[in-house]
Structure 1
Amino acid sequence: MRRARWVSWLIMAICTVYFATPLLCTFEFSLRLKRGEYSFAAYENVFKDSRFQETFLYSTVLSAATIVFGTLLVVPTAYWVQLRLPRLRPVVEFLTLMPLVIPAIILVFGYVRIYNSSSILPMTSASWSTDMLLGCSYITLALPYMYRAIDTGLQSIDVKTLTEAAESLGAKWPSILFGVILPNLRVAIVSSAFLTFATVIGEFTMASLLDRPAFGPYLQLIGASRAYEPSALAVITFLITWGCMGVIQLLGRGRRGSVSASAY
């Protein structure tokens, strides 16, 4: 047992060094903007750049819209499949995995071909409609993560009993969905929201080909023209992503604690 534990710690240490070394080297390089000393000048340049503020705000707003509309699409679908159509669950799971199989560049070319200015729905002819098209494409891109998180949350609760209890009290379907099911899926919805945010905030292909001022194309532009600022942006993006993962872990741990406490 002691030897197995020692081997486990050794493997964990090797993996930690393997993953942490590139990040630490990137962070150390981002501090070398001023010759002969370490400073946060590269980070100051990034935060002072108006394009950073505009693109990050644009991607944040678009990710929030993606989370809201994606949740309104996925939660009723996953709930209805688990409650009434369990035989269709493999089909729905297969469909939600398609964005992982089809490359993003193929998806966006399909969108441009279908919704160009000469089509019946010319969504690329104006900025606001192109923003809507990009938001819809982000919902498609985040669908695998959102559906898996919400479906896992639905499996952890007794959907059938909750629905029958609400129906016996005279509740209608909107009241059941928004007043009974959604409160029990808070951790799953928050998890899917942070996963979606981490996916959208760094997405490059769709935003670039649709010519939208998103954060992903800004990262590529800075990386092609500067040396130290891209390293600072990489560290910032990494911290944002891991911050989202940490919040998911804290919420999930608190949820398990509350459930176990209520059981006693």
Structure 2
Amino acid sequence: MKQSKVWAWIVFGLGALYFLIPLIATIDFSLKIRKAGYTFDAYSAVFADPRFQQTFGYSLLIGLCTIVVGLVIVVPAAYYVRLRAPHLRPVIEFVTLLPLIIPAIVLVFGYIRLYNSSSFLPLTNSNLGTAILLTFAYVALGLPYMYRAVDTGLRTIDVQTLTEAATILGANQLTVIAHVIFPNIIIAVLSGAFLTLAIVIGEFTVASLLGVQVFGVYMQNIGANRAYEPAALSIISFVFTWGAMAMIQLLSRFAPKTAARTD
């Protein structure tokens, strides 16, 4: 027993070193912009750059829009499958996994071909249209995580009983979803939302090919002609992503402790 614990700690230590050494090296490099010693000048330059403020703010806005659109699509769909059509669950799960199988570059080229200037709906001709395409592309990329988070939340509550009780009291389906189901799965919804936001912040391929200046594109452009600022941006992005993961872990402590329902 003691020997197995020793080997477990050795494996854990090797895994931790595998992830921590590159991170520490990146932090160390980002602080050496001056030869005199460690300094936060690279971080100051990044935060003072108007392009950083613009692209990061735009990515946050697109991320929030993506979360809203994703919830409007996923919550009713997952609720309907859970309540009325459980036989469709394998099909829905397969469809929601497609964004993990189909490369993002295929998705964006399909958008460009369908919505270019010569199509019946030339969305790529305007900033608003491009933002709409970008939002729906991110909804697709975040679909596997959002759907599974919502589906997990629905498994922790008695959807059938809650729906019947609300219906007896005169609530329609929209009211049931908005005022009964949604508040009971809010922790799961927030978990999916944070995962989606982390994906949007770091995404590059779709935004680059659509010609949109988002945070991921800004990071790539900075990395092409500077040395220390890209390292600082990597740490900032890392902190943001792990902050989102920490929020998921924190919120999971407040999740309902009832056993998951699989029927």
Tell me if both proteins adopt one fold, taking TM over 0.5 as the criterion: yes
Amino acid across the alignment from 1:246:
A
Residue of structure 2 in register with 1:20 after alignment: 20
Deviations for 1:91-143, whole angstroms, at most 9, x for unmatched residues? 11111111111111111000000011111111011111111111111111111
CA distance in structure 2 between the aligned counterparts of 1:17 and 1:203, rounded to whole angstroms: 27
Q: Is there any run of 5+ residues in structure 1 with no aligned partner, and where?
A: none
Q: Flag as ranges the 4+ runs of structure 1 deviating above 6 A.
A: none
Is contact 2:156-2:256 (8 Å) kept?
no
- What is the deviation of 1:11? 1.5
TM-score (ref. length: structure 2): 0.96
Deviations for 1:198-218, whole angstroms, at most 9, x for unmatched residues? 000011011001111111110
Is contact 2:188-2:255 (8 Å) kept?
no
Amino acid across the alignment from 2:130:
T
Moved more, 46-55 or 11-20: 11-20
Amino acid across the alignment from 1:7:
W
CA distance in structure 2 between the aligned counterparts of 1:70 and 1:191, rounded to whole angstroms: 13
Amino acid across the alignment from 1:194:
F
Aligned length: 259
CA distance in structure 2 between the aligned counterparts of 1:165 and 1:6, rounded to whole angstroms: 54
Please tell me the root mean square deviation across aligned C-alpha atoms, in Å.
1.2
Identity %: 54
Residue of structure 2 in register with 1:101 after alignment: 101
Q: Secondary structure at the match of 1:124?
A: helix
Deviations for 1:142-197, whole angstroms, at most 9, x for unmatched residues? 11111111111111111111111211222211111011100011111100110000
Is contact 2:59-2:200 (8 Å) kept?
yes
CA distance in structure 2 between the aligned counterparts of 1:220 and 1:103, rounded to whole angstroms: 19
- What is the deviation of 1:227? 0.2
Residue of structure 1 in register with 2:144 after alignment: 144
CA distance in structure 1 between the aligned counterparts of 2:218 and 2:200, rounded to whole angstroms: 13
Residue of structure 2 in register with 1:11 after alignment: 11
TM-score (ref. length: structure 1): 0.95
CA distance in structure 1 between the aligned counterparts of 2:21 and 2:180, rounded to whole angstroms: 46
Q: Within the alignment, does 1:234 sit opposite 2:234 as a pair?
A: yes
CA distance in structure 1 between the aligned counterparts of 2:95 and 2:107, rounded to whole angstroms: 14
Q: Is there any run of 5+ residues in structure 2 with no aligned partner, and where?
A: none
Deviations for 1:16-40, whole angstroms, at most 9, x for unmatched residues? 1111110000000000000130000
